[in-house]
Amino acid sequence: MISHAQISGLILALSLAMFVSEKVRHDLVAVIALIACIVTGLVPPAKALIGFSDPAVIAVAAVLVVGRTLELSGGAGAVADRLMPRGAPFGVRMPILLVIGAVLSAFMNNIAALVVTMPIATRIASDSRLSPGAILMPLSFATILGGMTTLIGTPANLIISSVRERLLGQGFSFFAMTPVGLLACVLGITYVSVIGWRMLPSRRKAARAARDPWLTYELRIDQGVSLPRDALQAVLRKHRARLIGIVRGNQIVGWPENDALLHDDRLLVIGRTDPILIEAELPFLTDDSRSASFSHVLQVSVAHGSRLIGRFYEDLTLLTSGLLRVVAAGPRAARMRRPLRQMRIAAGDQLFLEGRAEDLAQYAAQLRLLEVDHYERANVRRARAWSVAVVFLAAIVAIVAFSIPAWLAFFVAAAIYAATGLIPSKEIYSSIDWSVIVLLAAMIPVGSSFESSGASDYVANWLGSTLAGQSLFVTIAAMCLVTMLLSIFLNNVATALVMAPLGVEVAKLLHAPPDALLLAVLIGASSDFLTPIGHQNNLLVMAPGGYRFSDYSRMGAMMTVIVVLGTATYLSHVFGR
């Protein structure tokens, strides 16, 4: 007869396999796992939804609202911009920006910190005649590192604190992880500033691509015409463009045998130059998306959490009341070989938006679009920014000085922002990543069943026997590395839910300090420097930086070694006394 421990282990193993496959949404995987636990009797129906009332889940939702309010206030971006020394060389400005990004991510969502600092990063690269790729990956790593330094730096920290409270009676304090997180941050930023960025691919080709990006756009046939294909191709080659296909109705069709192009046919083209130059030579063509030149166009990358994800390109015009429109897309649209009107926006997509500078500034922030090109920012309303900052600082003081639970302090702060209009009403719920909330709420009872069924004891015993007789340094390094490797395939929240309870169990078996292993898990859960898929920030800078998959391990392998060894050295010294 199969025991509950075996059933629980099987459910968790299958869940991890589905997480890794990425064929099923992570939140849906968690829901499926929860349903399986209910059906098999591991989780009583009365406790199935207990995760939604867990303080860690409430804290994560509240922190996301608070972080979004800080982002929209513009204050953080204005301060970061003011702190940058004008005219200083790249080797000076880059580490300063990385430190600013790390500090912001300690108190904001990682993505929000990247959104705030990315325009400054691209400007620094441009001023130094380098491509954005010279600085964007280092900036991504810095914002990841900064999230390790406080309780609210990343949702995984809150989850690990919640596990500590459940298993050991008390959660982590607001700055409990700051010493080890700060050490990892300093070591990591020093490495990428001095050595790491130089290990990225040659900048010359990337710099040209950054100044001259690929655009995918449609040119409408204004009047029927007969044109040999070779003649069209010659004009396109002259302007560094090529034909992808002909859009007729809602389909991509091949070149007509009689060379006849019909009225309202559209040419799907990818190129590096403004399509207006092509129109000048072929007067029967019209750029289907715009009537003016590219003088007011902003190149953006779509961030995770953007309201545009899953929508069609034309929906941007509706969401902005006609103030903005998509005039071109990035290379993905060309690879898909579909009419642009049928393309749905995905995270990481490159878009070229036309509109007034002030409208571009406003909606880029509201729709969570990362600026790749630079434009003049709209003025920050200082009174609003100060009000947002005061409420935020009051929440931190309440946690640190008066031991108010983090979930309550930030829940109240979020409520104040909403009640006073410091965050627009439409942003209150859209700022929360509901897929993460569902993932957390569903996995909490699943994780509890893994412990209560005894399945975690088997895994902990195996880890304990493997590490038996090893020094505390080796044990901490192993726990950090295992967590780090798991985070390559799972997001850091799911990794924390799996590894934090195991850390406590292994500590008990080896008679090691539980906090030493919990902090090792905390660092490892957010330390994916080897791939673009383990952390959202790495994925977001991939297209704007012109990176390939292997570029992350090129710079990140040494970073991984530095963080693991630094963490193990510090924690073994502090807890080994």
Instruction: Give domain status of residue 221, yes or no.
Output: yes
- Average pLDDT for residues 10-17, to the nearest whole number? 87
Q: What is the pLDDT of residue 375?
A: 42
- Average pLDDT for residues 210-223, to the nearest whole number? 76
Q: What is the pLDDT of residue 295?
A: 46
For the ranges 17-21, 154-158, 330-334, 485-489, the maximum mean pLDDT occurs at 154-158
Instruction: Give the C-alpha separation, 209 to 217, whole Å.
Output: 17
User: Which of these ranges, 52-66, 74-88, 204-218, 245-259, has the smallest mean pLDDT?
Assistant: 204-218
Question: Is the confidence at residue 67, as pLDDT, over 50?
Answer: yes
Which of the two residues, 382 and 88, has the higher pLDDT score?
A: 88
Q: What is the pLDDT of residue 118?
A: 83
Instruction: Give domain status of residue 255, yes or no.
Output: yes
Instruction: List, for residues 220-240, the tens digit of each pLDDT value.
Output: 887 788 888 888 888 888 878
Using pLDDT thresholds of 50, 70 and 90, give the confidence band for residue 573.
very high
- Average pLDDT for residues 506-532, to the nearest whole number? 92
CB 102 within 8 A of CB 189: yes
Instruction: Give domain status of residue 480, yes or no.
Output: no
Instruction: Give the C-alpha separation, 275 to 290, whole Å.
Output: 10
DSSP symbols for 379-418: PP-HHHHHHHHHHHHHHHHHHHHH---HHHHHHHHHHHHH
Q: What is the pLDDT of residue 102?
A: 95
Instruction: Give domain status of residue 561, yes or no.
Output: no
Which of the two residues, 98 and 248, has the higher pLDDT score?
A: 98
Q: Which domain holds residue 229?
A: 213-371
Within 314-381, residue ranges assigned H as helices are 315-319, 331-336, 357-366
CB 142 within 8 A of CB 529: no
Q: What is the pLDDT of residue 381?
A: 67
Instruction: Give domain status of residue 377, yes or no.
Output: no
Instruction: List, for residues 176-185, the tens digit of each pLDDT value.
Output: 999 999 999 9
pTM, entire model: 0.73
Instruction: Give the C-alpha separation, 534 to 528, whole Å.
Output: 6
Question: Is the confidence at residue 36, as pLDDT, over 70?
Answer: yes
3-class DSSP state of 84: coil
Instruction: List, for residues 126-176, the tens digit of each pLDDT value.
Output: 788 888 888 999 999 999 999 999 999 988 999 999 999 989 999 999 999
Q: What is the DSSP letter of 421?
A: T
Using CA of residue 145, residue 148, residue 150, residue 152, what is the dihedral sign?
A: positive
Q: What is the pLDDT of residue 577?
A: 59
Q: What is the pLDDT of residue 294?
A: 42
Task: Round the average pLDDT of the chain to a whole number and report it.
Answer: 85
- Average pLDDT for residues 207-226, to the nearest whole number? 73
Q: What is the pLDDT of residue 505?
A: 92
Instruction: Give the C-alpha separation, 144 to 117, whole Å.
Output: 13
Question: Is the confidence at residue 84, as pLDDT, over 50?
Answer: yes
Instruction: Give domain status of residue 519, yes or no.
Output: no
Q: In the chain, pLDDT over 70 holds for what percent of residues?
A: 93
User: Which of these ranges, 47-61, 260-274, 305-319, has the smallest mean pLDDT?
Assistant: 260-274
Domains in the chain: how many in total?
A: 1
- Average pLDDT for residues 26-50, to the nearest whole number? 92
Question: Is the confidence at residue 506, as pLDDT, over 90?
Answer: yes
CB 280 within 8 A of CB 351: no
CB 100 within 8 A of CB 142: no
3-class DSSP state of 130: coil
Instruction: Give domain status of residue 170, yes or no.
Output: no
Question: Is the confidence at residue 341, as pLDDT, over 70?
Answer: yes
Instruction: Give domain status of residue 230, yes or no.
Output: yes
Using pLDDT thresholds of 50, 70 and 90, give the confidence band for residue 376.
very low
Question: Is the confidence at residue 564, as pLDDT, over 90?
Answer: yes
Question: Is the confidence at residue 544, as pLDDT, over 60?
Answer: yes
Q: What is the pLDDT of residue 293?
A: 40
